[in-house]
Amino acid sequence: MNFKNKHIISIRDMSKAELDYILAKAALLKSNKDLQILKNKVLATLFFEPSTRTRLSFEAAITLAGGNYIGFADVTNTSVQKGESLKDTIKTVCGYCDVIAMRHNLEGAARAASEVSKVPIINAGDGANQHPTQTLLDLFTIKEQFGHIENLNIGLFGDLKYGRTVHSLSMALANYNVNLHFISPKLLQMPEYNKKYLSDLGIHFTEVDSLKEVGKKLDILYVTRLQRERFGDPLEYEKASGSYRVTLETMNMLSPHTKIMHPLPKVDEISQEVDKLPNAVYFEQAHNGIFVRQALLGLVTGVIQ
Ligand code: CP
């Protein structure tokens, strides 16, 4: 399978075979941590929006594999402040590196960047749209926890309206034989376009507003943060605030084997007591970002096939 020079923009662009191939490469890298496969490669991390895990795990991924990185985490220190366009920024930076990982607040920004870039663009999140590398590490974690991704009951819980991770993840899970359950307050339901995408593929999902209705069935409860920064109307945010939370009491609504996942950062939607439970796998999930991103960097630069 050839990923050399491919842009990684949306999970919708990838087939099941491609997803499985990337996951297999990431598993090999997790079990062989000392491979210097990215020696002499330079990654540019262009983060127009805040990030902890995505940016740092990309930078850790290339450093641990022998390469280097350049970039910015704060756009106020760049020539964007002087009015430079995204396309001019990309045309310039692609002359300094082998691959670009970019996060932007505008939906479609990564696609626009890929149209002018001479090096592969990896979308590290574009607005409320897509976060494909997060989805890959989510799939990797599911496979690591269960040994497979098939025949699972997966509940996506919380802010399904603005959470780009659940948009990408539900689309990726459409490739596997899973039962999806969308659990959210009415105000935060999965967007219609996302549900239509799944329905058109014949994917079955349920949509409920309470965990009580589906909790005992779930193998995975994937919790999301209320995406405060994407609410246009502060009143809408106030209404939604505090409308869902996972506590020790919530755990009684789940099966003892239900794994709790979260793309992180979390704020107050999961109580700290839950962090200590063996069901909580979200910090291991974040750690897996290194191997999945290393695999992608290796594949798009052509150092792994
Ligand atoms: N999950 C995720 O994208 O985290 P960051 O915003 O910290 O990168």
Q: Do 204 and 104 share a domain, yes or no? A: no
Q: Tell me the percentage of the chain whose pLDDT exceeds 70.
A: 100
In a domain, 220, yes or no: yes
Q: How many domains does the chain have?
A: 2
Q: Are residues 38 and 160 in the same domain?
A: no
Work out the pLDDT band at 245, boundaries 50, 70, 90: very high
Residue 240 has pLDDT above 80, yes or no: no
Cα gap 277→218, rounded to integer Å:
16
pLDDT tens per residue across span 61-106: 999 999 999 999 999 999 999 999 999 999 999 999 999 999 999 9
In a domain, 268, yes or no: yes
Q: Tell me, yes or no, whether 143 and 239 share the same domain.
A: yes
- Is 126 contained in some domain? yes
**Domain match, 167 and 102 both:** no
- pLDDT tens-digit readout, 117-126: 999 999 999 9
Q: What is the pLDDT of residue 237?
A: 76
pLDDT above 90 (res 284): yes
Query: 42 and 83: one domain?
Result: yes
Residue nearest to atom 1 of ligand 1 (CA): 263
Q: Is the pLDDT of residue 239 over 90?
A: no
Q: Using a 6 Å CB cutoff, which residues line ligand 1?
A: 51-54, 125, 134, 263-265
Question: Is 200 within the bounds of a domain?
Answer: yes
Tell me, yes or no, whether 278 and 143 share the same domain. Answer: yes
- What pLDDT is stored for residue 63 in this prediction? 97
Q: Which numbered atom of ligand 1 lies nearest the CA of 56?
A: 8
243 and 293 belong to one structural domain: no
Identify whether 6 is part of a domain: no
CB under 8 Å, gap of 24 or more: what pairs does 111-117 form? 111/9, 111/10, 112/86, 112/87, 113/86, 113/87, 114/7, 114/9, 115/87, 116/87, 116/90, 116/91, 117/7, 117/90, 117/91
Same-domain check for residues 17 and 65: yes
Q: To the nearest whole percent, how much of the chain has pLDDT over 90? A: 90
Of 102, 62, 109, residue with least CA distance to 85: 109
Same-domain status, 143 and 268: yes
Cα of 84 to ligand 1 centre, how many Å? 26
143 plus 240 within the same structural domain: yes
* 5 domain residue, yes or no: no
- What is the rounded average pLDDT for all residues in the chain? 95
The pLDDT, as a whole number, for residue 235 is 84
**170, pLDDT greater than 80:** yes
Task: Give yes or no: residues 66 and 113 share one domain.
Answer: yes
Q: How far is the CA of 57 from the centre of ligand 1 (A)?
A: 10
Q: Identify whether 4 is part of a domain.
A: no
* Domain around 63: 11-130+289-301
Quick one: 100 and 239 in the same domain?
Answer: no
Q: Report whether pLDDT(234) > 90.
A: no
- Tell me what pLDDT residue 232 has: 81
For residue 249, being part of any structural domain is answered with yes
Mutate to test the pocket of ligand 1, among 47, 51, 168 (most ligand atoms within 8 A of CB): 51
What residues form DSSP beta bridges with 259?
220
Catalytic residue among 7, 25, 55, 131: 131
In the predicted model, what is the mean pLDDT of residues 106-131? Answer: 96
Comparing 165-179, 204-218, 233-247, the range with the smallest average pLDDT is 233-247
Q: What is the CATH number of the domain that holds 145?
A: 3.40.50.1370
pLDDT confidence of residue 230: 80
**Confidence check: pLDDT of 260 > 80:** yes
- 224: pLDDT strictly greater than 90: yes
Whether 82 is catalytic: yes
- 287 is a catalytic site residue: no
3-state helix vs strand vs coil in the chain, percent to 5? 45, 15, 40
pLDDT at 241: 81
- Which pLDDT band holds residue 196 (cuts at 50, 70, 90)? very high
Q: Name, in order, each residue with C-beta under 8 angstroms of 124's C-beta and a sequence gap of 6 or more.
A: 45, 47, 51, 54, 55, 58, 101, 102, 103, 110, 131, 133
